[in-house]
Structure 1
Amino acid sequence: MKLLRRKEGPSLDDRLTALLEAARLAEGRLPQELVAQAREVSERAGERRSLSVDHTVAALAGATGSGKSSLFNALAGRDLAAVGVTRPTTSTAQAALWDGEGAGALLTWLDVPHRHEVEAEGDLPGLVLLDLPDHDSIELTHRLEVDRLVELVDLLVWVVDPQKYADAALHERYLRPLSRHSEVMVVVLNQIDRLSATQAERCLADLRRLLEEDGLAGVPVLGASARTGKGLPELRGLLEERVSRRRSWAERLSADVSTAAARLSTAGDEAVSVGTPDGGRLTRALSEAAGVPLVVEAVAKAHTHRAVAATGWPMTRWMRKFRPDPLRRLGIGSGARGEIVGRTSVPQPSAVQKARMETAIRDVGEAAARDLPEPWAAAVRHAARSHDDDLAGALDRVVATKSAGAARRPRWWAVIGGLQWMVFAATVLGAVWLSVLFVLTYLRLPDPPLPTVVEVPWPTVLLIGGAVAGVLIALLSRIAAWAGGRRRARKVAKALREGVGEVGGRLVLGPVSEELDRYRSFTEALGVARS
């Protein structure tokens, strides 16, 4: 069944849904008592609207000696409740029903066992009038019964007397907390027959002043006397008007939603402007802690180191094996084809780097929480540090993954390496040829025909030319390797920064943004619930 829609704003159904959503979002952020109260209001609304909406439950509540039981009997036209003056006589609530057909389930839900059918007259059919125990009773069970039913009934009629209408217990315990329930509340100054007309007006004016201080300005305040019947027609007329509209139950639930939403809003009455935190400083700090500068430098050096080993003069390149490979020392790309093998050997961050990283993470949380009310600000700060234990492993995986490509060998290395072997073979051939010629000369054998290149013998050309060409190719390859190492280092540095930024976004900025989104959703839902 669709709840009644107010003249303006969202329907009560929408407000209840929003309140339930706000309570869900506030779970673990706001005090559990407030969250439970909000959920209880939603549950109570569902139960109440599933029962008879054609009946209006009005409760007469008051202190000992206020005369509410006498007023109850006067309205019912029968002596249904025992009347006492100095001590409580009502121990459990009892109900007077004007046309109570269909109200059984409602009264069972209210747990009111004593029920009296009275003659329906006027516009009262559908009224269920309760006589509650005294709210100031010396019996704890009486007070608890009042507290329970005050939260459930549709219309509250507070009965006070000239002696105790300003009682602090009444105003502080009941009226002030119900300041948003003015539309479902009536205050009756009973026993007005004991006062003169001037005294009665003065008491009524003072009672209205106290109600205004309680936040209940506009609540109907009537003077009445159960003994003489004065004021009873006005009270009965007011009850008839409320019963005929059949909206008190919805107005009560609306007031309950407003109260529960207002209590939740004590964590922040208004939505504040929140944005996505800047991750630039965080990325830099995480990069330092992950050893990115060290890895980038190692990439450049390793590229040059491996290029020299692959394209250098074959007679000297073997010496490179005695020099450590910078990337292998860090455990990066140490597989047979440069694939990722376990964790890297990048040194753990220093104390200074750790401090910078922790400061950057803390600053992200502080910046995001700056304009938020507590305890939402605390939740945001906690979110920034919620994955501290996962950061080290995630950063190491990023370094290993993004640096794996640095171990790949460019194709030109193989070409130049093959050329070097060809040049080396020419050099060796020239050396062997000259050696043969030397032996023949030493043995005084005839010299064989010797081809020349511009009068320079071919063996000499091969020996000297091969050596010079090999050295020249090695020098040019080293220059190309140095430039390629710088280029590869820049590429790896960019990939590492992006990877570290993704880690920071996933493990630091992401949880913070989720918490900020949760707060935005909370304030939006709360705004609907309070509207």
Structure 2
Amino acid sequence: MSASDRAAPALPGEGVDHIAPAAPWHAALDTAVELAAGRCPDEDVDRLRELRDHVRERLELGDGITVAALAGGTGVGKSALANRLAGAEVVVEGVRRPTTDHPVAITSSLDAPTRRLLDWLAIDDRREVPGALPDGLVLVDLPDHDSVAELHRTTSQRLAARVDVLVVVVDPVKYARADLHEGALASLRAHTEVVTVVLNRCDELEADDVGRLREDLAGRLEADGLGAAVVHLTSAATGEGIPALADHLADLAREHQAVVARLAADAAVVAEDVLTRTPTLPVTPVAVPPLVEAAIDAADGHRVVAAAELEQRAAARQATRSPLARLVLAPVKFAARFGRGLGFGAGAADTSDRQATARTHETLARRLADEVDLASTVGHSYAGLDRAVEQAAGQAAPQVVAAVGSVADEITAERRRWWSAMAGARGLAEATAVVGFAWLVLLRAIAWLGLPEPTPPQLTDQLSWPAALLLAGLAVRVLLGLVTRALLRVAGRRVRSRTTRRLRERLTQVVTDHLVAPYDTEVAATSALRAALATLVSGRRAP
């Protein structure tokens, strides 16, 4: 069972003598946890959630009690220092071998808030020494961080990550060890406000060596990123420097700032690491027209446009046909209707629709990815945008097909007044030609039968009226046909233009709502995530 399971954190104001004030980075942490899922690697999401739970649990316990832990290696005098600060022999001291095999908490009063806090820290060994420490201060003697016992090391590391103030105790022998500066201290560079370094056993040094070691230690701390950490020189054997260290810890407890400062530093460390793997997405608006063209291509929108033009031309040709032409084409139309009645030429629509949907999905997703120029990007965090694009394309595909289908369903021929006039003119021209042709045939038939041949009236010396009627009718018929064809081409282009415009308007709405909006939402969410992480990073420096 974890410490958080054993503990029953008080609700705000219940058994807590001082409530931690809210800070801007608290809301930023909630925002980061909410937005990180699906946009950051799973391990980063888990770290942010664990951090949020840790912060909430500690803040619910209030900041009226400050827990300061003495951490260090074997033989540096942590236990002796704890006894000096407590003013009594509370823990067993060792000279060169570890004597602290478990954490020991020292406090002046084991009241309810203190018990709750120690339950949360999972510290069972609690020593109550009335008047030994300032009110609101709990001193913890940790096991050695370099102990040969793994349990000692893990316990020390666990509590060092959870206490409010960390007092790192070193001695003239171990203060420069690489495992200290490259390990424990290196991980605390963001926690300067809550880290105190104590150079103990100074009584074993010559007076000249004390200053030299202090300068050397300060330089090493500066290299570790802890140049602003408070440094105290003490001697647990003689008591030198103990009052100053005690006053420093009392000030931290009285100011009630250490709890929030420690949590802010923890949040900054995690956020800074997560931020390095969170991309800065492009904020340039996605160009809608190319996406609309991609949607038209993917959903066979050009076929709809062509169908509208063909429908208009077919209706116009039908309306401008002369009675003679309609009579000639009647058998063809009858055969076509008969064939459709038998089911010829049908049955491929469903397959075509399914193929169009699949093509739309694939093309739109690829086109959107190309537009945001993700081809050259790397990193797990872009998976969030890829996921959003893929989902948006999948949801937009049926909408695109439906929009194209609605335009196709609205295709109707727009009748024009000149159609009837043209049909009448063409019929008159054909009738004229037929009259002239029939007249000539009649004259030839009379001559063939040997009957008295009548003399046809002459239009000119070289042209009779029957021939004139035939030639004039044919010429006018051909001319009207050419004019009709030209007018139909113009009308077809206009219908194509109107249909294309209507199709683009509908698809623009679909693309904007179902593709661009989700993309913009994802970019905004990632930007908000980065802003929240940046707030956490800067939170440790906030006043």
Amino acid at match of 1:276: P
Among the aligned pairs, what percent are the same residue?
32
Q: How far apart are the structure 1 equivalents of 2:489 and 2:62?
A: 87
The equivalent position to 1:56 in structure 2, one of 58, 62, 66, is: 66
Please state how far the C-alpha of 1:396 moved relative to its aligned partner: 3.8
Amino acid at match of 1:482: R
Q: How far apart are the structure 1 equivalents of 2:261 and 2:336?
A: 81
Structure 2 contact 105–138 (Cα < 8 Å) conserved: yes
> 1:118 maps to what in 2?
129
> 1:135 maps to what in 2?
145
Q: How far apart are the structure 2 equivalents of 1:245 and 1:373?
A: 46
Amino acid at match of 2:306: E
Q: How far apart are the structure 2 equivalents of 1:395 and 1:243?
A: 64
Q: How far apart are the structure 1 equivalents of 2:336 and 2:73?
A: 92
Confirm whether residue 291 of structure 1 aligns to residue 300 of structure 2.
yes
Report the secondary structure of 1:218's partner residue. coil
Structure 2 contact 322–423 (Cα < 8 Å) conserved: no
Confirm whether residue 486 of structure 1 aligns to residue 493 of structure 2.
yes
Please state how far the C-alpha of 1:315 moved relative to its aligned partner: 3.1
The equivalent position to 1:73 in structure 2, one of 62, 83, 104, is: 83
Report the secondary structure of 2:140's partner residue. strand
The equivalent position to 1:257 in structure 2, one of 258, 267, 270, is: 267
Please state how far the C-alpha of 1:292 moved relative to its aligned partner: 3.4
Q: How far apart are the structure 2 equivalents of 1:393 and 1:18?
A: 38
Distance 1:127 1:503, change over 3 A: same
Deviations 1:285-318 (CA, angstroms, capped at 9, x unpaired): 4433433344433432332123212442233233
Please state how far the C-alpha of 1:236 moved relative to its aligned partner: 0.9
> 2:323 maps to what in 1?
314
Q: How far apart are the structure 2 equivalents of 1:195 and 1:494?
A: 90
Q: TM-score, normalised by structure 1?
A: 0.77
The 10-residue stretch of structure 1 (51-60 or 177-186) with the greater mean CA deviation from structure 2: 51-60
> 2:116 maps to what in 1?
105
Distance 1:116 1:52, change over 3 A: farther
Q: How far apart are the structure 2 equivalents of 1:160 and 1:218?
A: 17
1:123-522 residue pairs with structure 2 within 5 A? 124-267=134-277, 274-317=283-326, 318=329, 321=333, 360-366=367-373, 374-381=379-386, 383-386=388-391, 395-406=400-411, 408-412=412-416, 416=420, 480-505=487-512, 508-522=515-529
Q: How far apart are the structure 2 equivalents of 1:355 and 1:79?
A: 76
Deviations 1:252-286 (CA, angstroms, capped at 9, x unpaired): 122222222222222259x6762222233343344
Distance 1:53 1:146, change over 3 A: same
Structure 1 contact 162–192 (Cα < 8 Å) conserved: yes
Please state how far the C-alpha of 1:347 moved relative to its aligned partner: 8.7
Q: How far apart are the structure 2 equivalents of 1:26 and 1:347?
A: 36
Q: How far apart are the structure 2 equivalents of 1:493 and 1:180?
A: 61
Q: How far apart are the structure 1 equivalents of 2:256 and 2:212?
A: 34
Amino acid at match of 1:279: V
Report the secondary structure of 1:96's partner residue. strand
Amino acid at match of 2:131: A
> 1:455 maps to what in 2?
none
Q: TM-score, normalised by structure 2?
A: 0.75
Structure 1 contact 56–243 (Cα < 8 Å) conserved: yes
Distance 1:316 1:356, change over 3 A: same
Structure 2 contact 364–393 (Cα < 8 Å) conserved: no
Please state how far the C-alpha of 1:381 moved relative to its aligned partner: 4.5
Q: How far apart are the structure 2 equivalents of 1:384 and 1:506?
A: 13
Q: How far apart are the structure 2 equivalents of 1:81 and 1:137?
A: 18
Q: How far apart are the structure 1 equivalents of 2:398 and 2:27?
A: 42
Structure 2 contact 388–519 (Cα < 8 Å) conserved: yes
Structure 1 contact 56–126 (Cα < 8 Å) conserved: yes
Amino acid at match of 2:523: L
Aligned residues: 483
Q: How far apart are the structure 2 equivalents of 1:39 and 1:170?
A: 29
Distance 1:213 1:31, change over 3 A: farther
Q: How far apart are the structure 1 equivalents of 2:399 and 2:508?
A: 11
Amino acid at match of 1:410: E
Q: How far apart are the structure 2 equivalents of 1:210 and 1:323?
A: 99
Please state how far the C-alpha of 1:355 moved relative to its aligned partner: 11
Distance 1:473 1:405, change over 3 A: farther
> 1:529 maps to what in 2?
536
Q: How far apart are the structure 1 equivalents of 2:497 and 2:41?
A: 51
Distance 1:503 1:414, change over 3 A: same
> 1:94 maps to what in 2?
104
Q: How far apart are the structure 1 equivalents of 2:354 and 2:86?
A: 87
Structure 2 contact 19–64 (Cα < 8 Å) conserved: no
Distance 1:394 1:34, change over 3 A: same
Please state how far the C-alpha of 1:474 moved relative to its aligned partner: 7.6
Q: How far apart are the structure 1 equivalents of 2:26 and 2:382?
A: 26
Structure 1 contact 308–474 (Cα < 8 Å) conserved: no
Q: How far apart are the structure 2 equivalents of 1:256 and 1:415?
A: 82
> 1:84 maps to what in 2?
94
Q: How far apart are the structure 2 equivalents of 1:238 and 1:324?
A: 101
Please state how far the C-alpha of 1:235 moved relative to its aligned partner: 0.7
Structure 2 contact 321–423 (Cα < 8 Å) conserved: no
Structure 1 contact 310–414 (Cα < 8 Å) conserved: no
Distance 1:273 1:493, change over 3 A: closer
Please state how far the C-alpha of 1:402 moved relative to its aligned partner: 1.8
> 1:338 maps to what in 2?
none
Amino acid at match of 2:287: D
Q: How far apart are the structure 2 equivalents of 1:272 and 1:394?
A: 27
Structure 1 contact 58–157 (Cα < 8 Å) conserved: yes
The equivalent position to 2:23 in structure 1, one of 8, 13, 31, is: 13
Deviations 1:162-186 (CA, angstroms, capped at 9, x unpaired): 1111223222332222211111110
Distance 1:168 1:354, change over 3 A: same
Please state how far the C-alpha of 1:497 moved relative to its aligned partner: 2.9
Give structure 2 stretches of 5+ with no counterpart. 1-11, 13-17, 341-345, 447-469, 539-543
Please state how far the C-alpha of 1:216 moved relative to its aligned partner: 1.1
Structure 1 contact 291–347 (Cα < 8 Å) conserved: no
The 10-residue stretch of structure 1 (179-188 or 168-177) with the greater mean CA deviation from structure 2: 168-177
Q: How far apart are the structure 1 equivalents of 2:354 and 2:487?
A: 28
